[in-house]
Structure 1
Amino acid sequence: MSRRTPLMLNIATGDTRPINRQIVDGVRRLIANGELPVGAALPSVRGLAQQLSINPNTVAKAYGELALEGWVESRAGLGLFVLQPRQLLSDAERERRLGEAVDRFTGDVIGLGYSGAEVLDRVAGELAAALPRKVA
């Protein structure tokens, strides 16, 4: 049986996103940046719920969404495991979602008083840290 390590997720009570959405976003980020490699075992529903001090139903809902989106798969009697990333959305849907995310982000930061260059530098840095590292 493979050993499961705790997920390094931060759940913020002041976040406008529901807790299950924070879990989904956090696991996606860990997979995208390679911290959770293909084949890695996720903690059990009960284990992650205890780690985060939240209701197991919330974790189950997040895990279900990750499975539906193709980020993880359930193996009977073994648990959840990270899948090889694949494109599940059409190009038009990807473009629509990117547009929505950019609109939300712009609306959130426009009043903070940063210059466009400062915002772009910060976003570029975060993306560089979050995207998978290319190996030549």
Structure 2
Amino acid sequence: MNVIIQAYVMLERFHIEPSGVPIYIQIRDQVLRVIGAGLLKPGEQMPTMRQVAVALRIDLNTVRHAYDALARMGALTVRPARGTFVAEHPPMLDLSVEARRLDDLAHRTIASAKAGGIDPAELAQRILAISTSEESDQ
């Protein structure tokens, strides 16, 4: 896929939520999801940090922080003067860390639902329906 089109498609999926989660972590996690979903394959070039910063209207250093974290994790490879690429062999997820992250997100979502007067079980059903619908759209 053309690098410019690929960057545009990926950037279209990125968004920043006013959730209290640091922006660089939101970007990091979204990049990991895009890689995990197979939308970016090993060896494919990432959008430049500047493209991400402009698209999301955030500071370039925030994006740099996210890309650096992804490179330290082994998910991205930086090639000086060439760009940033998805690593050929993305790192295996630490299942205990992933379980804690999922639990944390679930607890925050439940609390948010209750605070908004929404039944958490009904929300869970809605999330599952939306997720299933999005998977079939791909």
TM-score (norm 2): 0.71
Helix, strand or coil for the counterpart of 2:41?
Answer: coil
Closer, same or farther: CA 53–99 of 1 in aligned 2, 3 Å:
closer
Residues 41, 80 of structure 1: 8 Å contact kept: yes
Residues 69, 88 of structure 1: 8 Å contact kept: no
Matches within 5 A, 1:25-104: 25-83=29-87, 84-89=89-94, 91-104=95-108
Helix, strand or coil for the counterpart of 1:17?
Answer: coil
In 2: Cα distance, 1:113 partner to 1:96 partner: 26
Closer, same or farther: CA 51–121 of 1 in aligned 2, 3 Å:
same
TM-score (norm 1): 0.72
In 2: Cα distance, 1:126 partner to 1:24 partner: 23
In 2: Cα distance, 1:119 partner to 1:45 partner: 35
Closer, same or farther: CA 96–53 of 1 in aligned 2, 3 Å:
closer
In 2: Cα distance, 1:105 partner to 1:47 partner: 31
Point out where structure 2 has 5 or more consecutive residues left out of the alignment: none
Over the aligned positions, Cα root-mean-square deviation in angstroms equals 2.7
Identity %: 31
Helix, strand or coil for the counterpart of 1:74?
Answer: strand
Q: 1:109 aligns with which of 113, 124, 132?
A: 113
In 1: Cα distance, 2:16 partner to 2:104 partner: 23
Residues 19, 58 of structure 1: 8 Å contact kept: yes
Partner of 2:27: 23
In 2: Cα distance, 1:40 partner to 1:48 partner: 16
Between stretches 67-76 and 121-130, larger displacement belongs to: 121-130
Residues 41, 81 of structure 1: 8 Å contact kept: yes
Point out where structure 1 has 5 or more consecutive residues left out of the alignment: none
Between stretches 3-12 and 64-73, larger displacement belongs to: 3-12
Partner of 1:120: 124
